Structures are given as structure tokens and as C-alpha cells.
Amino acid sequence: MRMHAIETGYYHSLAMPENGTVWAWGNNEYGQLGDGTATTRTIPVAVAGLSGVLAIAAGEWHSLALCADGTVWAWGDNVNGQLGDGTKTNRSTPVRVPGLSGVQAIATGAYHSLALLTDGTVRAWGRNISGQLGDGTTTASATPVAVVGLSGVQAIAAGEYYSMAVLTAGTVAAWGSNYFGQLGDVPTADRRTPMAVPGLSGVRAIAAGWSHSMALLADGTVRAWGLNYHGQLGDVGDGATRDRTTPMAVPGLSGVRAIAARSCHSLALLGDGTVWAWGSNSSGQLGDRTTCDRSTPVAVVGLSGVKALAAGSGHNMALLSDGTVRAWGDTYCGLLGDVTETDRSTPVAE
């Protein structure tokens, strides 16, 4: 099957073929594969009952799908209400998120979910301990609530306990946990409602790791801020791996077309179809034939013709222009879909 989109969660992966169905593999402890079981899968299985899907998203233990009719479906872990169905019951098959229509994009944090509506506003649901739902409270919600004060939103992203949005003007707003400066603000206090990230303009895409953030600018360069323990900010110019509370340029990158982040590493897709990676590399997730952390971007070995990226906790996927998928890094629970339990420090075919 030719794939149209890919997504990665903590220990599971999703792929969407061109026919609008969804396939999943990896850990299934909470039903996050959506096949009606709790059985781990080392090869892809179809998510039950979904068709006409336009976009997919994967949290730590839950999954989302956006359908062509503007509805959102969710499955997996629901202990924090992140499935948005008004309960805290785990679901091993997709359930519709009630009260949502006209959705144009979705995103997932660790235990919360976001939906961008066609009117440019954002809805959020799930865990809210750090204010990541943006409704002015720290109260969890098992149904979607409006993010306060946001309009003209063009794109959304969610980290572990925080959320971000790109606005029409090319600026970025962020809310939730700010312990490591991932909101791009000083002081590093949590925010219950969106605030502007200072010093950013001309932003066309954003990505959120556990506690670090990235922005892709219209000129093809990348800015990064937040947690930097493993060098996931890309060395920002002085060789130090200290956290950053304001966006800094990632050196050595230009002509970037897309970015991805999860856990403690980062990815960039260049205009020539190659992929560069930096940060944590304990499972080979940087794809450079080593398991050494990198504080500056390195080329992922053997990849070309890439059109989309997805970053997981310790593994990554790349969608090639021919519709095939490559994966590398941690293979726990069959994450790489190659029926092995051997980590891969270079990409392998799904």
C-alpha cells in the first residue's frame, strides 16, 4: 500500500494509506492500535471502522483521526479524558469526539488533545495539570473546551504538558508547562492561557517535543528553545547543552521544508529530500549508525526522496515520495514494523 501520512506515539505508530483508512502497530496495552484488542502488534493492523480519514495523530498512549466530514475519532488510553468522549474509559476501537465539527487539524500531547477548527479557533481536552488546555484553569476536561483568546490559528502542536499555535501573522502562541522554558518566555512560569512567544515572526510550522519547541521560518531556517539536556536544540551556537528560554537559531540548517520533534530529539526535512537529526540517540533514533547523542544536526544515513517525517519517543519514521515508509531507532513492541527486537541505527523498510 502507498502511504499518505505517518504518525508516531510513545510506543506505537500509525500510517494512513491513500484510501483514507488507518493502520497501526506497536504497543497496544490501552487499545491505542484501535483493532478491538489489547494485543501488541509487530506488523501493521487496520484500525477498526475508519474511512475517509484526512489526518492522524498519536499521543503517548492514545490516537486520533480527522475525517473528511470534519469529525474527530479517538481511541486508546482515556484515564485523563484525552479521548474527549465524556468518560475516562479506555477504548480499543475509535469513538467520535462529541461536539466537534468543522475541524481542519488535530494534535496530541502526552495526555491531552487539540483540534483546530475552520474558523481559526482551537478546542482542547484531557489532562490540564499545567494549563495545557488553555482555558484558564488547571482542571482536566473529558470533553472539548475552547482555548481562551485564540483566533486566526493556522497550525497547532502539542508537547508533553504544553501546547502551541501558529497565528495568521506568522507569530506563535504557547501555553501550559514552562518548566524548561518551552513556552519561550521568562520567567519560566506555567501559563493557563496562550501567550505570544517573543522574537518569532514568519513562522510556517511548529513542532513540540516533550519539553522543547521548534519553529520553521519562511526562509527555511529553524528556531528552537526549551529543554536541551541531550542537545535537542541543536547547539544554538555555543556548544553548550543548557536550556533556552527564548528561541535561538539552529546552526547549519537551511532550506528546511518540515520539522518534527518528540521526547528529546529533533528532525528536519530539507528541500533535497534528506533528513537531519540531533539530540538523544540512545536507541539509534538519529539514524547515523551510532548511539551517541548529537548537539548539532547529522544526516540520517541512506534517506532520500523523503516527503514527510514523524518523531516518536525513541524511534522515527519517514514517508518517501513513492509512498513507502522507512523507520529507525527503538524497536520495543515492534515499533519499526520489521518483526524484530533489535534497535536500528539506520532506516529500515516498514
What pLDDT score was predicted for residue 340? 62
The whole model's pTM is what? Answer: 0.96
Mean pLDDT (whole number) for 274-299: 95
Per-residue pLDDT reduced to its tens digit, 108-153: 999 999 999 999 999 999 999 999 999 999 999 999 999 999 999 9
% of the chain with per-residue pLDDT over 90: 88
Alpha carbon of residue 269 to chain centroid: 15
The lowest-confidence range among 31-40, 290-299, 339-348 is 339-348
**In this structure, are strands 53-58 and 62-67 parallel, antiparallel, or unpaired?**
antiparallel
What pLDDT score was predicted for residue 278? 97
pLDDT interval class at 236 (50, 70, 90): low
Mean pLDDT (whole number) for 151-172: 97
Residue 237, amino acid: G
pLDDT interval class at 349 (50, 70, 90): confident
Q: How far apart are CA 39 and CA 41, in angstroms?
A: 6
What pLDDT score was predicted for residue 238? 58
What pLDDT score was predicted for residue 179? 95
Alpha carbon of residue 72 to chain centroid: 17
Q: Omega before 187 cis (within 30°)?
A: yes
